[in-house]
Structure 1
Amino acid sequence: MSAADSADAAPMYKTWSAKELAGLSDEALIDAVQRQTFEFFWHGAHPVSGLAPDRRTTRDAPVDDLVAIGGSGFGVMAIIVAVERGWVTRDAGVARINRMLDVLCRATCYHGAFPHFMNGLTGATIPFSRKDDGGDLVETALLFQGLLCARQYFDADTTAEASIRGRVTGLWAEMEWDWYTRDGRKLLYWHWSPWNGWAMDHEIHGWNECLIAYVLAASAPRYPVDPLVYHRGYANGRDFINGKRYYDVELPLGQPYGGPLFFAHYSFCGIDPRGLRDRYADYWQLNCAHVQINRAYCVDNPKQHKGYGADCWGLTASDDPFGYSAHAPDNDNGTISPTAALSSLPYAPDAVLQTLRGFLNRHGDRIWGRYGFVDAFSEQHDWAADTFLAIDQGPIIVMMENHRSGLLWKLFMGIPEIQQGLRRLGFSSPHLTANAT
């Protein structure tokens, strides 16, 4: 074992079988699912930097050096949960995050933004595609969501914890959110590359998973964007305002039937939707409605896919028998993604617990493994993934914890810059009142 490995090592968690899990009480079951899923970000992480791989398999395949920036943001949040729950020691969590920052602080950046993928050993960019070889604003936002929570949580007067705070603050200050308005246009752009410029031409319109990018951009200490970038850019998207009813549930924002469920998860790992409002929506009501509609569609099962029902639902982006797709009621090929339901625990706890037990009782160890639930499965096609994805495992841990204790919501919403940014954008929240703690 190298010095880097020994600095934050912990014994390999003794995994639960699906049958053992099914016999636990609700609270113990949630804890065990969180804990085993956390193994993806602990023993499944990059062996030197501790950053999150894009994916791992059900087998003990060798780990390459590719790491995912957004997935690593969820990984940081998962480590905070692990420290708080006592799954790893505080010293071990601090050491791991400092190792992550060792690479992040020397990594190639693009006006402060990180790429989608990079080498977890060197920090060099690994292109996502031919022209997606530079800064990825949304992946960067998901990373900063986690890093800023770590800066807030690790507040002890020690050299190691001060290192986290100082280095996160440095990265945060150097991120040029205004650069990604493409010469001052009234919206954010997803990609920029020194070799391909703005060739990807991907405007970030809502409603989707990108609220976190606009909140961070408005909150930035040195390079913020004008609030009009949010109102004229994100909130003017073709699929932003909805107002229609699906399965007798009104959907304030979003595409028909709400789209994939990760829209209700990614930004809201840190942003607390409870009581969060602006001129466009009540975001708790929006996310609850999205979950209700997604579940109701699967129960209705208009395409008659095998296995769908009240204890087997959840459509979101994931692997499937044919590749990878953003599954939703209007893009349904019979694939259920466990992260879709499990990360929705705060919005529909009874329905999610019913489904969690349904997954275990009906499918058992075929879909449950060393890093929690596999990414997806399909009874219709007699298929189960042999993969675990960082961007799907992370929200399970974090959103389950937000249901249990509100930990990440309290941390993120307590950050002074975030409070200022939300106020600039016209949001109201219980966290923004004068006496909020």
Structure 2
Amino acid sequence: MIRIALILFSFTFFSCSSYLDKQKESTTSSEEKLSDEELLSTVQKQTFKYFWDYAEPNSGLARERYHPDGNYPENDVNIVTTGGSGFGLMAIVSGMSQGYITKEEGVERLNKIADFLAKADRFHGAWPHWIDGNTGKVKPFGTKDNGGDLVETSFLVAGMITVREYLKNGSEKEKAVAQKYDALWKGVEWNWYTNNKNVLYWHWSPTYDWQMNFPLQGYNECLITYVMAASSPTHTIDPKVYHEGWARSSGIISSNTKYNIPLILKHNGAEEFGGPLFWAHYSYLGLDPNQLSDQYANYWDLNVNHVKIDYEYCLENPKNFKGYGADYWGLTASYSRNSDGSIGYDAHMPGNDKGVISPTAAISSIVYSPKEAMAVIRNLYENHEEETWGDAGFYDAVSLQNNWTAKRYLAIDQGPEVVMIENYRTGLLWKLFMNAPEVKQGLIKLGFSSGKYGF
């Protein structure tokens, strides 16, 4: 299922001016082009600002959206996003590791976030999709979506485990913060969200019970939800929930190919080309697909093929959109351009191509197709800087076809950029998450193996 998460107003707080230059990174002349490593560092550092300079001030969490022009939907100023905040936790770990902020600054912010989440609304341990950053109360994502969101919670919990692993052997203060995150994630009642069936359900509401009725069946962005549920030492699930629910009793396997590239798994509603590229990102920010496999897929091949198909589609460019090519590709869910020229939101993919490229699609795919991703980064930075580059990195969406840019940001798009660049450069977040004992046990429980991590 495709989420429609729209993301955050913000203003600068907890300034780290000695570490994060408030001004846009200066561009170099054509004679002094940045190296690939310098360019990646520039993009990672600038994008990190989303989760530091532009976070919601009371909670410290990631705002749902940041609009530099200050034009926001009504009552949207302090809404924080659960899933995007999980990505933000990983981004903060990256920021400390890279020296964008000090360890002390990062720990202070992480402690603030943990204390806020401990008091925020929870529903059988799961947090809602949106939370009011001032009060900690649920902000309904929809009429019936006013309770626990298990998928968003799983993105948040993956970040919590990463933070715990990063801090657990540190100072007394760091160990105390690590313990807070350990207690928070162990409170999620994953088994409750089966509704006594062999499948996990996305939502539960204290008002509407199970009426949303969205079983998590693959393949989409929700693999991490089953991994977290199986890894829980307090409220775990039986492996049957994964194999019968998510994997549809092996019905998840696909024999389809596109451009002579196997899809490997059936992409829900997108079985010809595969779904939007965030499906290759969200679950794999902590979950390392390198050498990871189970009876259904080799997950490195799955994601590399997904990206290759998207890339080949943009090269083919069957709709003849302006700019599409080897240095301008990448279709995923993001802000979009409506037919009347207004800004909307859409799940872009080859089967739903609107002539809108989302920079997060290629940037967050840097781990899978580094050469192709760098071509997009360099093209946007060197040739389209004025219209695509802003306070928190590349803007969310651009259409050369329509001479249009959504000069806005979404947490769920900026987060994967920071995290996947870090994983490409150092592998840090993958190492932290995959070496967590509960994660290893959960993956083994579901039948996964990883030559890289020794199981």
How many angstroms apart in 1 are the aligned matches of 2:184 and 2:395? 33
Unaligned runs of 5+ in 2: 1-11, 339-343
Tell which deviates more after alignment, 79-88 or 249-258: 249-258
Post-superposition offset of 1:364 = 1.5
Q: Which structure shows the bigger proportion of residues in helix conformation?
A: 1
1:289-368 aligned within 5 A? 289-322=305-338, 323-368=344-389
Cα distance change on mapping 1:238 and 1:340 into 2, 3 Å: farther
Post-superposition offset of 1:268 = 0.4
Post-superposition offset of 1:190 = 0.3
Post-superposition offset of 1:18 = 5.1
Contact 1:187 1:203 in 2 (8 A): yes
Contact 2:28 2:34 in 1 (8 A): no
Which residue matches 1:143? 156
Cα distance change on mapping 1:104 and 1:111 into 2, 3 Å: same
Given the alignment of the two structures, is residue 216 of structure 1 paired with residue 216 of structure 2, yes or no?
no
The one-character-per-residue Cα deviations of 1:412-434 (angstroms, maximum 9, x if unpaired) are: 00000000000000000024426
How many angstroms apart in 1 are the aligned matches of 2:119 and 2:87? 20
Which residue matches 1:265? 281
Post-superposition offset of 1:307 = 1.4
Contact 1:291 1:347 in 2 (8 A): yes
Alignment partner for residue 193 of structure 1, among 169, 184, 205?
A: 205
Post-superposition offset of 1:7 = 9.5
Q: Is the partner of 2:368 in helix, strand or coil?
A: coil
Q: Is the partner of 1:96 in helix, strand or coil?
A: helix
Which residue matches 1:82? 95
1:26-45 aligned within 5 A? 26-45=36-55
Q: Is the partner of 2:156 in helix, strand or coil?
A: helix
Given the alignment of the two structures, is residue 51 of structure 1 paired with residue 61 of structure 2, yes or no?
yes
Contact 2:160 2:181 in 1 (8 A): yes
The one-character-per-residue Cα deviations of 1:96-137 (angstroms, maximum 9, x if unpaired) are: 011111110001100000000001122111001111001000
Q: Is the partner of 1:40 in helix, strand or coil?
A: helix
Contact 2:257 2:272 in 1 (8 A): no
Identity %: 47
Cα distance change on mapping 1:105 and 1:376 into 2, 3 Å: same
Post-superposition offset of 1:147 = 0.7
The one-character-per-residue Cα deviations of 1:250-279 (angstroms, maximum 9, x if unpaired) are: 221133211100011000000000000100
Contact 1:77 1:408 in 2 (8 A): yes
- TM-score (ref. length: structure 2): 0.91
How many angstroms apart in 1 are the aligned matches of 2:249 and 2:41? 38
How many angstroms apart in 1 are the aligned matches of 2:335 and 2:442? 35
Q: Is the partner of 1:160 in helix, strand or coil?
A: helix
Post-superposition offset of 1:304 = 1.1
The letter for the 2-side match of 1:413 is: M
How many angstroms apart in 2 are the aligned matches of 1:383 and 1:28? 28
Tell which deviates more after alignment, 232-241 or 62-71: 232-241
Post-superposition offset of 1:239 = 8.1
1:20-419 aligned within 5 A? 23-59=33-69, 64-182=77-195, 184-236=196-248, 240-253=252-265, 254=267, 255-322=271-338, 323-419=344-440
Contact 1:276 1:282 in 2 (8 A): yes
Which residue matches 2:4? none
Tell which deviates more after alignment, 354-363 or 281-290: 354-363
Contact 2:331 2:350 in 1 (8 A): yes
Contact 1:278 1:426 in 2 (8 A): yes
Post-superposition offset of 1:339 = 0.2
How many angstroms apart in 2 are the aligned matches of 1:318 and 1:376? 7
Post-superposition offset of 1:249 = 1.2
Q: Is the partner of 2:237 in helix, strand or coil?
A: coil
- TM-score (ref. length: structure 1): 0.94
How many angstroms apart in 2 are the aligned matches of 1:241 and 1:20? 49
How many angstroms apart in 2 are the aligned matches of 1:67 and 1:313? 30
Tell me the number of residue pairs that the alignment of Structure 1 and Structure 2 aligns. Answer: 430
Contact 1:95 1:160 in 2 (8 A): no
The one-character-per-residue Cα deviations of 1:20-40 (angstroms, maximum 9, x if unpaired) are: 698210001001100000000
How many angstroms apart in 2 are the aligned matches of 1:354 and 1:219? 38
The letter for the 2-side match of 1:31 is: S
The letter for the 2-side match of 1:15 is: K
Q: Is the partner of 2:80 in helix, strand or coil?
A: strand
Post-superposition offset of 1:325 = 1.0
The letter for the 1-side match of 2:420 is: M
How many angstroms apart in 2 are the aligned matches of 1:280 and 1:150? 30
Post-superposition offset of 1:5 = 5.6
